């Protein structure tokens, strides 16, 4: 393009700018175009101007939601959580946002905040088994196993039922990958059936998948741990992790539930002889101490 043409376009743009000021709505529209073209950083730049200049509550809400979606697309989850929370405080109501916030808080160990959004999501959606199972685990870890079971029983899964016999056949033939996939589907279709959770733990342990085994054991304990047999998987995990104090507490819980349990009592006796640290509460730094330690590490 010639220099003369550039000058003409620049003069036209300046003239248009003087005659018609750019508004917050214009920046919002520009952000939408950037978002559709997956230019998320550009979208955020336009949205920042929108939020700084608008007096309209509706424009502000739309900008907040689009900002959250842009941040989510960029993997900036902490900022996305803050922006979704802001949008919800201004009237945004979308079940997917509730689910996202619940899972994000859950992943960070903030179970009280997670519970709030799991509860909101569950009130408007009963079919998302995977998310609602997480909700049940949170309730169980907070000590309300009855509420956890009620959530599982109220889930309305979508999809075809899974024959447990097919899953059992995969496991018998040591086809562990297929067995795990089958039982995972079965768990989603029958989320209140303990056997599916137990099978998933058993398969993960057999395949030496440490993290999945621990997750399945924790789910069993959180939801179904009012029965001693569903505490044992977590005992095995804690012993393998050398978390002897936690294992000791679980063994004592089994004995309290059953009145007496020879296996639990024998293990407890072994721990007392071979791992006396199991009877001493481990030191855990407070959040303030952790900040100090992290600050020292950064120097």
Beta carbons within 10 angstroms of residue 28's beta carbon: 23
Give the chain's domain count: 2
Task: Please give the Cα distance from 20 to 191 (Å, whole number).
Answer: 59
For residues 28 and 74, membership in a common domain is answered with yes
Given a cut of 60, is residue 297 above it in pLDDT? no
What are the pLDDT digits (tens) for 27-78?
999 999 999 999 999 999 999 999 999 999 999 999 999 999 999 999 999 9
For residues 87 and 24, membership in a common domain is answered with yes
Domain extent, residue 115, equals: 94-158
Given a cut of 50, is residue 13 above it in pLDDT? no
Beta carbons within 10 angstroms of residue 111's beta carbon: 16
Q: Which CATH number covers residue 103?
A: 1.25.40.10
For residues 87 and 102, membership in a common domain is answered with no
Q: Which of 38, 58, 92 is the last residue of a domain?
A: 92
For residues 111 and 70, membership in a common domain is answered with no
Q: Residue 242 domain-assigned?
A: no
Given a cut of 50, is residue 208 above it in pLDDT? yes
Q: Residue 108 domain-assigned?
A: yes
Q: Residue 25 domain-assigned?
A: yes
3-state SS string over the chain? CCHHHHHHHHHHHHHHHHHCCCCHHHHHHHHHHHHHCCCHHHHHHHHHHHHHHCCCHHHHHHHHHHHHHHHHHCCCHHHHHHHHHHHHHCCCCCHHHHHHHHHHHHHCCCHHHHHHHHHHHHHHCCCCHHHHHHHHHHHHHCCCHHHHHHHHHHCCCCCCCCCHHHHHHHHHCCCHHHHHHHHHHHHHHCCCCHHHHHHHHHHHHHCCCHHHHHHHHHHHHHHHCCCHHHCHHHHHHHHHCCCHHHHHHHHHHHHHHHCCCHHHHHHHHHHHHHCHHHHCCCCCCCHHHHHHHHHHHHC
Q: Indicate the pLDDT class of residue 22, thresholds 50, 70 and 90.
A: confident
Given a cut of 60, is residue 2 above it in pLDDT? no
For residues 26 and 69, membership in a common domain is answered with yes
Q: Which CATH number covers residue 85?
A: 1.25.40
Q: Which of 158, 181, 198 is the last residue of a domain?
A: 158
For residues 62 and 30, membership in a common domain is answered with yes
CA angle 137, 111, 136 (to 5 degrees): 20
For residues 83 and 43, membership in a common domain is answered with yes
For residues 43 and 65, membership in a common domain is answered with yes
Q: Residue 10 domain-assigned?
A: no
Query: Averaged over 96-116, what is the pLDDT?
Result: 96
Q: Indicate the pLDDT class of residue 159, thresholds 50, 70 and 90.
A: confident
For residues 64 and 116, membership in a common domain is answered with no
What are the pLDDT digits (tens) for 212-238?
999 999 999 999 999 999 999 999 999
Query: Averaged over 188-196, what is the pLDDT?
Result: 96
Q: Residue 146 domain-assigned?
A: yes
Q: Residue 267 domain-assigned?
A: no
For residues 65 and 27, membership in a common domain is answered with yes
Q: Residue 286 domain-assigned?
A: no
Q: Residue 30 domain-assigned?
A: yes
For residues 80 and 124, membership in a common domain is answered with no
């Amino acid at each position: 393009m010639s220099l003369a043409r550039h000058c003409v376009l620049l003069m036209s743009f300046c003239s248009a700018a003087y005659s018609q000021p750019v508004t917050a709505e214009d920046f919002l529209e520009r952000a939408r175009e950037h978002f559709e073209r997956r230019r998320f950083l550009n979208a955020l730049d336009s949205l920042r101007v929108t939020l700084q200049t608008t007096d309209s509550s509706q424009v502000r809400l739309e900008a907040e939601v689009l900002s959250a979606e842009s941040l989510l697309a960029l993997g900036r989850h902490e900022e996305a959580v803050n922006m979704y929370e802001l949008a919800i405080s201004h009237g945004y109501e979308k079940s997917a946002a509730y689910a996202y916030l619940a899972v994000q808080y859950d992943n960070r160990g903030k179970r009280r905040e997670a519970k709030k959004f799991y509860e909101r999501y569950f009130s408007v959606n009963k079919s998302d088994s995977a998310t609602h199972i997480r909700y049940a685990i949170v309730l169980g870890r907070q000590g309300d196993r009855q509420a956890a079971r009620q959530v599982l029983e109220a889930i309305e899964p979508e999809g075809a039922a899974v024959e447990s016999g097919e899953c059992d056949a995969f496991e018998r033939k040591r086809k562990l990958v297929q067995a795990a996939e089958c039982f995972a589907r079965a768990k989603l279709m029958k989320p209140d059936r303990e056997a599916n959770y137990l099978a998933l733990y058993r398969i993960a342990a057999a395949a030496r998948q440490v993290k999945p085994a621990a997750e399945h054991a924790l789910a069993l304990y959180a939801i179904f741990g009012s029965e001693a047999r569903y505490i044992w998987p977590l005992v095995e995990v804690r012993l393998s992790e050398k978390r002897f104090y936690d294992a000791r507490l679980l063994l004592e819980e089994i004995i309290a539930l059953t009145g007496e349990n020879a296996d639990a009592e024998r293990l407890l006796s072994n721990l007392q002889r071979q791992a006396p640290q199991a009877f001493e509460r481990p030191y855990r730094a407070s959040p303030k101490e952790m900040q100090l330690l992290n600050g020292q590490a950064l120097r």
